[in-house]
DNA sequence: TATTGTTATACTCTATAACTATA
DNA sequence: TATAGTTATAGAGTATAACAATA
């Protein structure tokens, strides 16, 4: 027994100091916790981080190519190759060579993939149940709006 | 040239599908981007991820012990050891054996550490400039409130 | 000449487990 | 017997660079 403590046990009031105004800090704390717990819940699957996201995006965007997928989840294209190898060996997704541009792979989810995705979605929801429960619907909508606004802003901002 | 694309270049509208309602996904995208960019901005320092957070928390909570620090930043206590070794070798923080409980180390920031922290804070602000600029003060306050609410919720929720 | 996807590789990050010293 | 911190280690995760096929 020596795992990373959940925030629950953290309790002791720690002053955030200058981190009070650092968005990245607040976000990372939550992200760390959520992703760690999510991965624990799906240890039975051979899924790596990003696997769920990749599967979900393929499902929602049939024919997606690998480069676009890589950008959407913020990974390197080489990392996506390994991710897809995993999804294919599970029989959850497949690559089809595009005829118009034979360099490209069009990605599709399989029937088994759909089943797996449904289960993973359910687990993701359970994983975030506490977070969802603590927000009203309006608050949740507002949170999404603000996060999307920030994401988009990382955008237009060329590099600076 | 083959680095991970910034969201700016991502543009192509990708449907989020079931990820639409997964907080972790939205958060991760932003976090990935912010942390990657932050680390690029401080390559001159020998700072590892979490180093800035650790220094800031030590500054704001003089005498903090390592276990509490580990919990606050969501790291394992063993990871914190390495983090502190780094901060000490830079001369930015120091460990002092507590007299009441000689097992514990009380952590303190040094004068050089304060200088470094000021610079790092400035860089962090620059790094998030686009994000801050896109939000009104009210929106920013609301975002912090919602994120803190979620973080606290990961709490009370024992384990489920 | 540029782009998609691939391979191979090396490196960074983090947790685990076993240890010590104190309590 | 439990806790704070340490060490050593192994494993996961990710990017980098060089390459093949196609455009």
pLDDT value of residue B60? 98
Mutate which: B3, B11, B17, vs A, most A CBs within 10 A: B17
* CA-based torsion, B64, B66, B69, B71: positive or negative: negative
The span from the CA of A36 to the CA of B7, in Å, is: 24
Q: Could B31 and A31 be called an inter-chain contact, meaning their C-beta atoms sit closer than 8 Å?
A: yes
**Cβ-nearest to A68 among B14, B31, B139:** B14
Mutate which: B32, B36, B40, B151, vs A, most A CBs within 10 A: B151
pLDDT value of residue B2? 43
Q: What's the number of domains chain A is made of?
A: 2
What are the residues whose beta carbons fall under 8 Å from the beta carbon of A48, sequence distance 6 or more? A82, A83, A86
Average pLDDT value for residue range B35-53: 90
Do A54 and A124 share a structural domain? Answer: yes
- A139 in any annotated domain: no
Residue A9, pLDDT > 90, answer no
Do B122 and B85 share a structural domain? Answer: yes
Average pLDDT value for residue range A79-98: 95
Do A21 and A4 share a structural domain? Answer: yes
pLDDT digits (tens, 9 = 90+) for A11-20: 568 999 999 9
Q: Which range marks the domain in which residue A80 is found?
A: 46-128
Cβ of A3 near strand D (under 7 Å)? The reply is: no
Do A110 and A50 share a structural domain? Answer: yes
Higher-pLDDT residue of A4 and B134 is B134
Q: Quick one: pLDDT band at residue A74, thresholds 50, 70, 90? A: confident
Q: Could B26 and A151 be called an inter-chain contact, meaning their C-beta atoms sit closer than 8 Å?
A: yes
Q: Quick one: pLDDT band at residue B1, thresholds 50, 70, 90? A: very low
Q: Quick one: pLDDT band at residue A1, thresholds 50, 70, 90? A: very low
Q: Quick one: pLDDT band at residue B32, thresholds 50, 70, 90? A: confident
Do B75 and B31 share a structural domain? Answer: no
pLDDT value of residue A155? 59
Do A28 and A94 share a structural domain? Answer: no
pLDDT value of residue B97? 95
Residue B159, pLDDT > 60, answer no
Do B18 and B88 share a structural domain? Answer: no
Strand C contacting residues by CB (7 Å): A 2-4, 36, 65-67, 77-78, 81-82, 84-85, 95, 101, 103-105; B 39, 48-50, 74-76, 78-79, 82, 100-103
- A1 in any annotated domain: yes
Smallest CA-to-CA distance from B6 within A156, A120, A38 is with A156
Q: For residue B144, count other CB atoms closer than 10 A to its CB.
A: 14
Please give the residue of chain B at the shortest CA–CA distance from A155: B8
């Amino acid at each position: 027994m020596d795992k990373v403590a959940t925030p629950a046990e953290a309790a002791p009031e720690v002053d955030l100091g200058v981190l009070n105004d650092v968005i990245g800090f607040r976000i990372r704390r939550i992200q760390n916790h959520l992703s760690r717990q999510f991965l624990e819940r799906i240890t039975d699957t051979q899924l790596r981080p990003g696997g769920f996201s990749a599967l979900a995006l393929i499902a929602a965007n049939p024919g997606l190519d690998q480069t676009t997928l890589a950008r959407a989840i913020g990974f390197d294209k080489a990392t996506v190759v390994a991710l897809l190898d995993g999804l294919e060996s599970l029989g959850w997704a497949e690559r089809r060579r595009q005829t118009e541009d034979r360099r490209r792979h069009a990605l599709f989810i399989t029937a088994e993939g759909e089943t797996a995705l449904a289960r993973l979605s359910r687990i993701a929801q359970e994983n975030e149940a506490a977070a969802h429960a603590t927000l009203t619907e309006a608050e949740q909508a507002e949170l999404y709006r603000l996060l999307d606004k920030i994401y988009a802003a990382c955008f237009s901002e060329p590099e600076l």
